[in-house]
Structure 1
Amino acid sequence: MKLYRPATILVGVLFVLLGGVARLAGTDHVLGDDSNLKVVSGSIGQALPWAGSGSTVKVTRIAFARSILSDNASDDEKPVDTNGVYIAIEWDTVRGVKDPDTLSPTLITDGGSVYAEVSDPSDSGIDFPDAGFARTGSVVFEANPADLKGLTLRLKPSMFFNYYNSEIRIDLGIPTEAIAQQMVDGAEEQYVVNSAVTRVAS
């Protein structure tokens, strides 16, 4: 009978654990093929519950633009241009009693593209206020004008280990390439990214 040293057993256990973690982080789990994943779907104007926290997220408007500029930019700062198109998503969050996880926004399309939020201006993003308050702001993405059909805002908890195991997907109302092209053609010359505003929840 062959005996295994403790170090060999430890390495084996480590590989099993890493395999489990990799499966949890894999695309099958994230994209909803796992029956434990709760996907909350909605559209513009709907207040959607955020990950069991009692908080809600709502997209109020989207805007297409050829350049962006922060509302607190100095007089000598120039707008940031793009060879693609900027998509500004205006949002409204309401904080529940529980502390909600930080959310991570991306845009996804029917063509399989995934767009991350721009890092500048730094005011862009989605967050929650203190309990009993609401917050309004905008998050900006830079996208390929040729791949916008089925554009969807996807919100996931940014924590790696999250017991809520859920995400929000908001349909941004671009079901065809023709509508996407109309939106691109009608893009504003410049979108001003306003600082987020906090108010008492109604």
Structure 2
Amino acid sequence: MIRRFGHWLVALLACAAMIGLHAYTGEFGHVDARRATIGQTARLYASTVVVNGWSIGQVLYSDDAFVGRTGVIYLAVNVTVATDGSERSTSWKVGGESNGRTFAVDDSLFVPEPGFQRRQDVVFELSPDDLAGFTVTFLDQAPIYAYDPQVNVDLGITAQDAAQAFDRSRYDTVRTTSGTVEVIR
């Protein structure tokens, strides 16, 4: 009997292995990208994210602790993450993009437990030339779903806005917070 159905059994096991590998590694994922602007709520599975604003400077403090000084600029993006669903996601990725380059955040984003929200900052270190057109990307990479929701938030910074912000705030101190958890009201 095994000899008769052996090739079907091998094919079935190979398919199961590929499905399992995809679920484990997250490779071949499909991204459902949506755009948002500052102040607009966007959903990623059981959580929402809102970009509240941004600030720049060359000196960085995080929760009143000196982090560093840079020859370029720190861009601090203030966000509110709320988990209004039944499960907290543990697989969020945050990054930035400008002028065809990608940027990693200095600190990771904290996603709160269900029923709570957290206002916090994510920080990027970048050249002043990359401030105009900067977009923050939030991605929730769940391992077993057919697609991963992604939100691209355009900070709305034009070249003129970037030049004015750099002239006005280039030597400023950026004070960021890791935030406090609050009950969703």
TM-score scaled to structure 1, two decimals? 0.71
The one-letter amino acid of 1:85's match is I
Unaligned runs of 5+ residues in structure 2 are: 1-9
Counterpart position of 1:136: 119
1:1-202 to 2 correspondences below 5 Å:
37-50=31-44, 52-53=45-46, 55-73=47-65, 78-99=66-87, 100-109=89-98, 111-118=99-106, 124-158=107-141, 162-174=145-157, 176-187=158-169, 189-202=172-185
Which of the two has greater strand per residue? 2
The one-letter amino acid of 1:150's match is G
C-alpha separation in 2, matches of 1:155 and 1:72: 26
Aligned residues: 166
1:101 Cα deviation (Å)?
A: 4.1
Which of the two has greater helix per residue? 2
Q: For residues 66 and 162 of structure 1, do their structure 2 counterparts lie closer, same or farther at Cα, with a shift above 3 Å needed?
A: farther
1:159 Cα deviation (Å)?
A: 5.3
C-alpha separation in 2, matches of 1:117 and 1:37: 20
The one-letter amino acid of 2:113's match is D
Query: Once superposed, which parts of structure 1, at least 4 consecutive aligned residues long, lie more than 4 Å away?
Result: 158-162
TM-score scaled to structure 2, two decimals? 0.77
C-alpha separation in 1, matches of 2:174 and 2:131: 19
Counterpart position of 1:32: none
Query: Is 1:106–1:153's contact at 8 Å kept on the other side of the alignment?
Result: yes
The one-letter amino acid of 2:37's match is S
Question: What SS is found at the alignment partner of 1:136?
Answer: strand
The one-letter amino acid of 1:59's match is V
Residue deviations 1:135-182 (CA, integer Å, cap 9, x gap): 1111111011112221100111255665332211001011x3222211
Report sequence identity in percent.
24
Unaligned runs of 5+ residues in structure 1 are: 1-8, 30-35, 119-123
